[in-house]
Structure 1
Amino acid sequence: YRFVSKWIMWNEPNKPTWLKPASAKTYVSQILNPGYRGIKAVNPRARVGGGVTGPRAGKGGVSPVDFIRAMDRAGARLDAYAHHPYPVFPGDTPFEGGCVCETLTMASLERLQLFVGRAFPSARIWLTEYAYQTNPPDVFGVSPNDQARFVGEAAQRVYLAPKVDMLIHYLYRDEPEISRFQSGLETVRGVAKPALAATMLPLAQVARRGMKTSVWGQVRPGDGPQRYVLQRLSGGRWVGVGGAVLTDRRGYLRRSISAPKGAKLRLWYPASRLASPTLVVR
Structure 2
Amino acid sequence: MPSESAVVVSGEVALVKSEPNQIKQDLNKGLKTGAKSILVIFDSNLENIQINPTEGVTFVASKNWFAKLVNLFLRFFFGLGPQFAPFCLAVCFSRNAAIYALNEESNGVKLLVKCALKEGSSTLFVPSRVPSLSVLLRFVWSSLFDASLLRYMAIGASGVLVNTLVLSVQVVLLGLKAYLGVPLAFESSVLWNFVLNDRFTFIQKKSSKLLRFCKYNFSSAGSFATQFLAVYFLTNYAHFHYIFASLLGIIAGFLLNYSLSLKIWIPRVAQPTPNRKSG
Query: What TM-score, normalized to structure 1?
Result: 0.26
Greater relative contact order (CA < 8 Å, ≥ 6 in sequence)? 2
Which structure has the bigger radius of gyration?
Answer: 2
User: Which structure shows the bigger proportion of residues in strand conformation?
Assistant: 1
Query: What TM-score, normalized to structure 2?
Result: 0.26
User: Which structure shows the bigger proportion of residues in helix conformation?
Assistant: 2
